[in-house]
Structure formats: C-alpha cells, structure tokens
Structure 1
Amino acid sequence: MVSDNTDDFQKELIGLFVQEAHEWLQRIHDALDELQQWPAPERHAKLIHTMSAGVTSLGGSAATIDLPDVTQASFAALPFIEALQDPLKAGSAQDFLSLCKQLGQIHTALTQATGVSFDDEGSGAVAEIVDAGLSPEKFLKTLQELQNKQSSDTGSGRNVILSLIEQMEGQIQAGVQGIDPTTVQGYLARVSEAEESFLKAIDAQVPEIMKKMRLLKMAGSELSAHRVALEASLQDVAQLRAEAQQVNAGSAMMFFTGLHVLLTMVTQRRVLLAATRVESVTSRLHMMGDAIRLWVEHGRAQRAAIDQALQAD
C-alpha cells in the first residue's frame, strides 16, 4: 500500500514537472528564435537570461525528482548559451547549431525519463520568420560578392562582412527563411556606436598615456615623484583594454594587456626600464593608436557597403 502511494506521488510529481518542462522549453526556443534576429543589447541580455534560467530550472527540477539524465543534459547547455552572451560578437553557425543540438539532447532525455514526447517543441533550429522580407540565401550571396571585392590585405584585420557571412550561414543552417533588414541595420549601428566610442577613448587617452610613459626616462627621486601619475595611467590602460575586448579588437586587447602588466611592474618597482625601452614602448603605443584608427575606418567602409547592399536588395 505504501509502495502504491509512493508510486502515485512520483507520477504526480512527474506530471507537474512535464508541464513545467513544456513551459520552460517553449520560452527557451522562443528566446533562441529571437536571438538569431540580432536584438538590441538590452534585449539580447534578457534573452540570454531567459535561456540560462530555463535550462537551470529544468536541471534543478529534474534533480529534485531524481531524473539525472535530464539534469545532466540541461546543465550541459549552459556553456553553449554563454558562447552567445556578447551582443556585439556575431554568433557563429556552429555556436547556434551546438546549442540547438544540446536542446535536442534535453528533449530526448525528457522523453525517455517521463514517457511524454517532447519532439514537437518549437526549436530555434527550425525557426521560420514569416513576415521578414530579406532572403538569407540572397543576402549571403551579396555578402560573398562584397567579400570577394575586398582587398586581401587591408592592413587592419577588420572584416565586418565576413562576420555577417558567418551569421547568415548560421541563419540558413538554422532554417530561418526571412530576415528583417532593419535588424541587420540595427546590429551594424550598435557595432558602429561601440567602435566610435572606442576610437574616441583612444584619441583622448593614448596621448596622455604616452606623456606619462616618457616620465619613465627620469631617474631617482624624479621618477618616484611621478609614480602616482603612472598609477593613474594603469586605470586608463585597463579601460582601453576592456573597450578593445568589447569591440573584439584582438590585437589592441593583447597590446593593452601587455602594457598594463609592464606598467604594473614599473609602479611596483619590480623593473626599471632603460630610456631606449621606454622609447620603444611609446613608439608602439603611437603605432597602435594609428592601427586602431585604420581598423575603425575599414569597419566604417565595410558597414557602408553592407548598408548599400541592403538597400539594393
């Protein structure tokens, strides 16, 4: 009798869990569908939170009623969601497909554990945007033509077009049949805003950092008197490094990381730089500023070409 009551109670718990799982999966898939349309950063963050909360809740609830396979499959989706966190970094086709595949693993685990089919849940992998007017296939071809026209050696490593090509390939592989051009334009506008902000910070802070770097040529008490100024430069360098990371300027991020380490060692009196080394570092800082300006300029030109292509389509 006790066993029968226990079985009935477990069935009731599973029934409630199934309802909850359906609700969370629907929210997760809706969020994934919208995420593939390049929403604004604030909305992007909310969608990521929705998906993370969904798989975490699924995993936690499954654990409470002893469904280990569902728990494991749910929590295993978190790294794939984290890979899509940055709204300014184009999610690759592989990023989206990996997440979709893991969601499929959750469906399978749920079906096997509960005996209820979850195969009919909506999926970002087969999303269909009915009202959007831009064909991903056509736009991909246009982008590929633009890419072929680009110089093979731009000198900056900037390639907005290639980034969008990867996104379009992801859209096509995910089954999206139409895209609103304004979503692409909105994405490009946000990238532009971030890059222009980065360039403004470079123009404002690099000359000041160079000026303080030259203080390292001084010796003895003079250098000690200027250590406070050098410590202030550490904050500026850290800020530039963070902004470089935000706009995915890899070379700049690596440079400012190295410069931050060097200045930290100097201010902590662990190293003393020779005048020639100071000049070398200062010169590289100046060249990095020029390289970033070129990087941003190439981004502007490529975004203009993409925008023109959107209007033509």
Structure 2
Amino acid sequence: MSAELADESPKAVIPAFVQEAHEWLQQIHVALDELQQGPHPDRHVTLAHTIKSGIANMGEAAAAIGLSEIERASCSALPFVAAVENPNGRISTNDFVGLCKQLGHIYSALTRAARVACEAEAVSGHAEKLPVTIASGELLSILHRFRDQQARLGNYPRNLLAAVIAQVEGMKKNGGERCNITSLKEFLARWSDGEEAFLESVQKQLPAVAAEINRLKSEAGGGGQPSEQMQPIVEQVAQLSSAAQQVNAAQMLAFCTGLHSFLTLVMQGRVVVAVDKYTAVESRLIDNVKALQNWVEAGRMERSAISGILPA
C-alpha cells in the first residue's frame, strides 16, 4: 500500500485500497495471460514475480487495515503462484485454473469490502461518488466489437486490446459479474504514463551512453586500456535494461541487454573492438530510440482508443 494510504486511519483508506487493489488485479491478469502463452524462461520468471508481488502486496495492505477476508484469500493464492513460477517445472492447465479461481476469490472479497465501505459512508452522510461499473458480459461485447472492427482496419500493431479482453474474461470466469470502468480507465492511463516515463528516462540517459561509445570509438586501435569511467555507464545501461523489462519494451530490452554485455566485455579488456563496430553500435542506438518512440506512441493511441469506447 502506498505511503499516502498508510498515514490514514484504516476505515478511511478502504475505498482507496479497493481502487489500488483493482489495479493490482488488472496487472496480475495481464501477466497471467502472457504467462499462459509459454514465454521465454526469463520472461516467465519476471511474470510470475509480478503476480506473486501483486498478491503479496494486496495481502499485506489488507492486513494493515483489517480486511481479513482479503488477507486470507491473498495468502491462499500464493501456493498456487508457486505451482506456476518455475519455467522448468511441470505446469499443467489445472495449475493455471487453480490460480485463476483463487484470484476470483480475492476479487469477490474485494467487491464485498467495497460494498461495505460504500454502505458505511452512505450511512455517515459522507458517501463519495461510486465508480462507474458495467456487467462483464456487456463490456466483453463492446470490446469484441471493437476488436473485430480493428481487425479489418489494422490500426493498432501492438494489439493491447487482447490483453484487456483476456483480463475481463478472466474476471468474469472467476465470478466477477461487474467490472469497474473507472478503475480500468485509470489503469490504461497509468499504463501509458509508465511507458512514456520510460521513454523520457531513455532520452535523458542515452546521450551519456552515446558519448561514452563515441569516446571508445575515438580511442579504438590506440592500444590503451579501457577506463574505469566506463563503470557508471555500464550500470546505467543495466538500469535501463531493467526498466525496459518492467514496461515490457521487448526490443529496447534486447538492445540494452546486448549493449550491457558488450560494454562489460570492453571494460574488462576481454575484446578488441574496431572503429566500425562502435559505429554500428551508435547506429543501432539511434534506431532503437526511434523504435521505442514509435512503440510508446502506438501504445498510447491504442489505449486511448480503448478508453474511448468504454462507458463514461
């Protein structure tokens, strides 16, 4: 739970906790959908960690404000995460079904907590405006129609709509008869904000990386040893790689991972690199930043379009 919520009294933060927990559940469902597609082992581990962390966070936050039903449901779900977190283990369809059912229990407990909180606020005369909700089946019909329309037009290459549909289908399958549209729209907005923040970070940090590559190129063939000043740049690239993984920027992740390995070898003096190799790295750096800009913009446009078809 965020620091802002932790400073409030338990009863006062229940509505905010419910909203935050819905966002955790949405992130968990997106990760679970990708996990079931059989990703690369490293990606599998990352997705499982996202699911486990989200559930653990919900359980801890629920315990802190006295929502014991949500705490118990979250704790009960963790063994089901353990059953699917090892990419080399024997994972069956039943393991995923079991985890989905447990997420359904959390969602149901969350719905009851929200209802109780709203009723309590109404009685006290301080009820806030309830979030916009819609029947899960009705929302799926809206999303499916939009998907069919976009399939004909081919407007959105990232196909983020598939993840949203899978998330809603998962909630409906596990007993979620209504979806919180307010929370879904906020989640879509934060999704875009996260990617745009990553792009901004890349644009701020890569000039220093480019300058270091240019320095190495200018000294190539001189017989000198790599400078210790490379260490901060190598660490910077590692941080960008980690950040790329957090926002699922696959192309930038692959580039930063490769660049980190390359610069590490250079720093350790284990390779001799020709000038044209550094030139190629500089070119790839520019190309990947442009590709990232296009990727972020495509995601922003698609999420904006999805948000636009949702009920007001």
TM-score higher than 0.5: yes
Once the 2 structures are TM-superposed, how far is the Cα of residue 125 of structure 1 from its aligned partner?
A: 8.0
Aligned counterpart, 1:267: 267
Q: 1:48 to 1:158 in 2, by over 3 A?
A: farther
Once the 2 structures are TM-superposed, how far is the Cα of residue 146 of structure 1 from its aligned partner?
A: 2.9
Aligned counterpart, 2:220: 219
Contact 1:124 / 1:174 at 8 angstroms: preserved in 2? Answer: no
Alignment of 1:285-296 (within 5 A): 285-296=285-296
Q: Distance in 2 between matches of 1:171 and 1:266?
A: 49
SS of structure 2 residue aligned to 1:189: helix
Say if 2:46 is the partner of 1:46.
no
TM-score if structure 2 supplies the norm length?
Answer: 0.62
Q: Distance in 1 between matches of 2:243 and 2:59?
A: 21
Aligned residue among 77, 82, 85 for 2:80: 77
Aligned residue among 37, 40, 46 for 2:22: 37
Q: Distance in 1 between matches of 2:244 and 2:192?
A: 13
Give the counterpart letter for 1:292 in structure 2. Answer: L
1:121-166 residue CA offsets vs partner (Å, 9 max, x unmatched): x935877958762122222232233334165485xx6332221111
Aligned counterpart, 1:123: 105
Work out the percentage of aligned pairs sharing the same amino acid: 30
Aligned counterpart, 2:146: 146
TM-score if structure 1 supplies the norm length?
Answer: 0.62
Equivalent residue pairs, number: 235
Unpaired runs of at least 5, structure 2: 1-17, 28-52, 64-68, 87-92, 116-131
Contact 1:160 / 1:302 at 8 angstroms: preserved in 2? Answer: yes
Contact 2:220 / 2:274 at 8 angstroms: preserved in 1? Answer: no
Say if 2:256 is the partner of 1:256.
yes
Alignment of 1:60-209 (within 5 A): 76-79=79-82, 97-100=97-100, 123-124=105-106, 129=111, 133-148=133-148, 149=150, 152=154, 158-209=158-209
Aligned counterpart, 2:303: 303
Aligned counterpart, 1:19: none
Unpaired runs of at least 5, structure 1: 1-32, 59-73, 84-92, 105-121
Q: Distance in 1 between matches of 2:208 and 2:75?
A: 49
SS of structure 2 residue aligned to 1:175: coil
Q: 1:100 to 1:143 in 2, by over 3 A?
A: closer
Once the 2 structures are TM-superposed, how far is the Cα of residue 53 of structure 1 from its aligned partner?
A: 8.2
Q: Distance in 2 between matches of 1:235 and 1:48?
A: 34
Q: 1:56 to 1:126 in 2, by over 3 A?
A: closer
Say if 2:230 is the partner of 1:230.
yes
Moved more, 171-180 or 261-270: 171-180
Q: Distance in 2 between matches of 1:166 and 1:305?
A: 17
Contact 2:58 / 2:74 at 8 angstroms: preserved in 1? Answer: no
Contact 1:241 / 1:257 at 8 angstroms: preserved in 2? Answer: yes
Q: 1:268 to 1:244 in 2, by over 3 A?
A: same
Q: Distance in 2 between matches of 1:127 and 1:52?
A: 6
Aligned counterpart, 1:283: 283
Give the counterpart letter for 1:260 in structure 2. Answer: H
Once the 2 structures are TM-superposed, how far is the Cα of residue 192 of structure 1 from its aligned partner?
A: 2.0
Q: Distance in 2 between matches of 1:173 and 1:52?
A: 19
Once the 2 structures are TM-superposed, how far is the Cα of residue 252 of structure 1 from its aligned partner?
A: 1.6
Contact 1:198 / 1:244 at 8 angstroms: preserved in 2? Answer: yes
Contact 2:160 / 2:302 at 8 angstroms: preserved in 1? Answer: yes
Q: Distance in 2 between matches of 1:96 and 1:34?
A: 25
Give the counterpart letter for 2:170 in structure 1. Answer: G
Q: Distance in 2 between matches of 1:36 and 1:75?
A: 16
SS of structure 1 residue aligned to 2:205: helix
Contact 2:59 / 2:70 at 8 angstroms: preserved in 1? Answer: yes
Q: 1:125 to 1:192 in 2, by over 3 A?
A: closer
Contact 1:94 / 1:170 at 8 angstroms: preserved in 2? Answer: no
Once the 2 structures are TM-superposed, how far is the Cα of residue 35 of structure 1 from its aligned partner?
A: 8.6
Q: Distance in 1 between matches of 2:302 and 2:267?
A: 41
